[in-house]
Amino acid sequence: MSATATETRVAVIGLGYVGSVEAAVLAASGRTVIGVDLREAVVEAMAAGRAPLAEPHLEERLTKARSLGTLTATLDLAHAITSTEAALVCVGTPRGDDGELDTRALLAAMTSIAQAVPRGGTYTIIVRSTVPPGLYGKARAAIDDVVAEGARIGLALNPEFLREGSAVRDREDPQLVVYAADAPHAEAAIRAIYAEHASRLVSCDPASAEVLKLVNNAWHALKVSFANEVARISRPLGVDPFELMQLVCRDTKLNTSAAYLRPGMPFGGACLVKDMASLATYAEHHDVSVPVMQHVLASNDAHLAHLLSAVMTHRTESGEGPARVAIVGIGFKPGAPDVRDSAPVAMAIALLDRGVAVSVADANVLDARVPPLGIDALRVALGDPRAIACESVEEAVRGADVIVVGHPAEADRRALVSLAPSLKGRVLDVSGELSRALSEAERRSLAPVDVLRAHA
């Protein structure tokens, strides 16, 4: 650990589950830490080296911190701020009556911190609390409203991923440390606090930092719900759900990996739609409630509707909606010439139903010669004379008001890159395919292209 890291003086505001672990781990590592809480009993326990809550290894870290003399605790927030360079704010954000996270106590704490920073002072506020989208803007405004003349207060978001029962281990050996900082000194404070984990630091924008914790927990909740639905379906069949899910988890290439977790087109193909519908239908016919599985197809359809909205709300120079749309990459997934249950095909049909002409290009489909693949299958799938199956990307995009990048072949993707300067403001890059694996020169060539964004 660098000398700078050990010399960093940190206030930890809120000594609940997250704050007590933060204070103990940082102080045990040799940093000077001042814990702050409104509850006198908690402050006294921390100051005496006693864990205010039951968490494995917490008391051990507090004991070490006490022996080093690196941890104090106080009710006096102003004293803690004037004695440190940065504050980790770990104030609770419980669910309010309206279902939203209640950030009143969090914002009040940040306002109090800002008021305690003296004129001309430099300080960093680092939010560890779980926050809703939009918190950064509200916090920045609240801080700026009360900051003393000449004081510089940097604001950083640093979501925590600590699990009860393993919080100390999670803090000392994090898989990932994500942060968003709006000032150089705030960035420096983050790097000093996480000096031991420099290789795991990842910077992002404030909006991503706000929503990441919520998305992570939604994903965990979805996994639990899915496993429980599997149990409800499998037990009547005489299948052991524990053994079944163990088999599912043994496939780390597809099942427990980053596979299928990239946003893009709705799923399709000869397997996913059919098998998802089959499983949900089986459950319905046998009176087994599996709302997650039964709504997966509905979610898929909702995403297609969302993308169609992005296309249809685009306006041409004359102020009209699109008269013609080009779709590049019509297969059901990247690299696939198969158009069965393909989302890009479904989009083409939906556009035709709305009176929009469609042109399609897909080198993979053109090269396929085995039915039900190939250009003939594509023409049958489109089933409308206004849908033109083109021999090249150049032909498909010529005269199109909007170009939708679906699942393009590599040759088609590169053709789009070369055409980028002439496609300004007309591209819906659904899966981020245009910017994938590009050189810096190619990225610069894409600079004139605006990616359409769907409107809720």
DSSP label at 322?
P
For 382, the token pair is 């489109």
Is residue 372 reached through a cis peptide bond, with omega within 30 degrees of 0 on the bond before it? yes
- Catalytic residue, from 90, 204, 249, 271: name it: 271
Cβ atoms of 24 and 65 within 8 Å: the answer is yes
Amino acid residing at 449: V
**Separation in Å, CA 49 to CA 28, 113, 163, 243, 261:** 11, 25, 22, 44, 44
8-45 burial code (b ≥16 CB/10 A, e <16): bebbbbbbbbbbbbbbbbbbbbbbbbbbbbeeeebbeb
CA dihedral of 45, 49, 55, 61, whole degrees rounded to 10: 160
For 218, the token pair is 């939604």
Give the closest residue to 84 by CA, choosing from 122, 29, 127. 122
Asked if 271 is an active-site residue, the reply is yes
d(CA 410, CA 51): 57
Cβ atoms of 16 and 92 within 8 Å: the answer is yes
For 1, the token pair is 């650990």
Cβ atoms of 397 and 427 within 8 Å: the answer is no
For tokens 């998802």, name the residue.
276
For 403, the token pair is 């170009």
What is the set of active-site residues? 271
